Amino acid sequence: PVLNAAGRAIVVAAGGHKATAVARSLETQALPGAAPAQLLRPAGGVTWMLDVDAAAQLHEGKWADPKAWQRNAVGGSKE
């Protein structure tokens, strides 16, 4: 509740050891809330800042379907 009361949340993850947690948080739809980051809902949204290694297990190509990935939006630099 405290984090959701913020105007905006920023999640920063770096390193390959975070890749599984990042993918589970952003791409697992079957168990919403299974990862704590899935519960973030501040009014201004959530921005994820990832390095290449932390984002390695994401499947960006699948995100074009808004029904499959309703809470995710892809944007920003891939560098």
Q: What is the pLDDT along the chain (79 residues), one digit of tens a residue?
A: 899 999 999 999 999 999 999 998 888 776 666 788 888 899 999 999 999 999 999 987 777 766 665 555 555 444 4
CA angle 79/41/65 to nearest 5° reads 60
> What's the pLDDT at 32?
64
> What's the pLDDT at 44?
92
The distance from CA 18 to its chain's CA centroid, rounded to whole angstroms, is 12
> What's the pLDDT at 75?
52
- How many whole angstroms separate alpha carbon 73 and alpha carbon 47? 10
Residue 23 makes CB contacts below 8 A (sequence gap 6+) with 57, 58
> What's the pLDDT at 79?
42
